[in-house]
Amino acid sequence: DAGITQSPRHKVTETGTPVTLRCHQTENHRYMYWYRQDPGHGLRLIHYSYGVKDTDKGEVSDGYSVSRSKTEDFLLTLESATSSQTSVYFCAIRPTGQGAREQYFGPGTRLTVT
């Protein structure tokens, strides 16, 4: 257990509304990631963070923004949700100690945009 929680775990929202998903970690890891997973695709990177206030775009960042004001929290915001953003969203962390190579994933948030 890498101490990663995601909230909410499930959400249904209407097209055009803003949505914020939260990823919380308890172990002060520097690197955090947001992925989305859709049928027929593997996980795809949306945004990532390499420290407080340090973020960058991933492969599928259009329509998403992120913020990281504290080490433990990484927020993903859909400014105006669209049906194409219906997906399962996973947060991950990556330890940076010597020899660390693995990533740990949260339980996911299932988002439905109607």
Partner 1 sequence: DAKTTQPNSMESNEEEPVHLPCNHSTISGTDYIHWYRQLPSQGPEYVIHGLTSNVNNRMASLAIAEDRKSSTLILHRATLRDAAVYYCILKVYGGSQGNLIFGKGTKLSVKP
Residues at the interface with partner 1 (CB under 8 A):
31, 33, 35, 40-45, 48, 50, 56, 58, 90, 92, 94, 101-108
Of 10 and 70, nearer to partner 1 (C-beta) is: 10
Q: Which residues contact 4 (CB under 8 A, 6 or more apart)?
A: 23, 24, 25, 26, 91, 92, 93, 104, 105, 106, 107
Supply the minimum distance, in Å, between the C-beta of residue 18 and partner 1.
24
Supply the minimum distance, in Å, between the C-beta of residue 95 and partner 1.
11
Supply the minimum distance, in Å, between the C-beta of residue 88 and partner 1.
9
Supply the minimum distance, in Å, between the C-beta of residue 104 and partner 1.
7
How, if at all, do strands 87-94 and 73-78 pair?
Answer: unpaired
Of 14 and 56, nearer to partner 1 (C-beta) is: 56
What is the gyration radius of the CA atoms in the chain, in angstroms? Answer: 13
Q: Which helix (H) or strand (E) holds 56?
A: strand 54-57
